[in-house]
Structure 1
Amino acid sequence: MSSVQINRIGLTYGQTFLLIGLGAALWFCAAIILSVIAPMGALEGSMRAVTYALVIPGTVPFIFLVRKLAKLRPDQLFTGIGIATTTALITDGIVIAYFPSVYGSTLPHITNCAAIILWGAGVGMLLASIFNRGAEK
């Protein structure tokens, strides 16, 4: 009998706490990237579509990095990315409500940054659902 406790979502408690930390770190990385590219106009006009499109391939390495760091089995990927993404979204919500200047000084700038964080979360969950594999026999 294994001494590692599995929680009700099928992960160890260690994996769960690590995924929460990775989700916060992922949000932080996204916020740093946005603080660099948003003032350059990457979220305005036609560049917005380009930036949104680039989020898709840019998210793939993060999915596999999280999988490796949290030691997720192929069938745990969707759940694990869900925990990390939820953490990033909660962090984003807190920042928008209480520290909006993290994203900028004007409402359009803040909402553009928040919107791309939401887009990235959706992309991450979609990719995790595609890359998730059934339990090995």
Structure 2
Amino acid sequence: MIHSQPNRIGLTSRQTLLLVFAGASLWFLAAVLLRIIAPMGALEGTMRGVSYALVIPGTYPFVLLTKWLVALRDDQMAIGIAVATTTALLIDGIVVAWFPAVYGGHLPQVTNCTAIILWGAGVALLLGFFINKGEYK
């Protein structure tokens, strides 16, 4: 049985497992999207700036969806999004090191894809911190 008591980071075991699943799922969606748009030049030249800018409004709904799906309280947003983002970053590191073909296999495309994943992770963390309200109870 999954415990409903908060763990040392203030989340229940259920919330933590759901956040890990959410982080992995969001990484997968981002990887699929990047695999499609990177060969079109979306991460090169002037389009790189456009793509980076679009990550900001594109990440916000996923942060709110994660809050809703995991039933995070306002005071759990920073830590909750940090857990999901950590999961995505760990997967990204493994993919870049051992499975770069996921991002296309060629160095410029792989580095462009992983760079925007890093940017998206930073955006998600900032949103989690800004949305976080109150103190942990």
The one-character-per-residue Cα deviations of 1:96-120 (angstroms, maximum 9, x if unpaired) are 0110000013101100000000000
User: In structure 1, how many angstroms separate the alpha carbons of the residues matched to 2:95 and 2:19?
Assistant: 20
User: In structure 2, how many angstroms separate the alpha carbons of the residues matched to 1:111 and 1:35?
Assistant: 12
Counting matched residue pairs gives: 135
- The percentage of aligned residue pairs carrying the same residue is 62
Q: Does 1:46 align with 2:46?
A: yes
The one-character-per-residue Cα deviations of 1:33-66 (angstroms, maximum 9, x if unpaired) are 1011111100000000000000000000000000
Structure 2 letter corresponding to 1:92: D
Superposition pairs for residues 1-137 of structure 1, below 5 Å?
A: 4-135=4-135
Q: CA deviation at 1:6?
A: 1.2
User: In structure 2, how many angstroms separate the alpha carbons of the residues matched to 1:68 and 1:123?
Assistant: 19
Structure 2 letter corresponding to 1:33: L
CA RMSD between the two structures: 1.3
CA contact (8 A) 2:10 2:136 kept: no
User: In structure 2, how many angstroms separate the alpha carbons of the residues matched to 1:75 and 1:45?
Assistant: 40
Q: TM-score, normalised by structure 1?
A: 0.95
Displaced runs of 4 or more, over 2 A:
none
In structure 1, stretches of 5+ residues that fail to align are: none
Q: CA deviation at 1:123?
A: 0.5
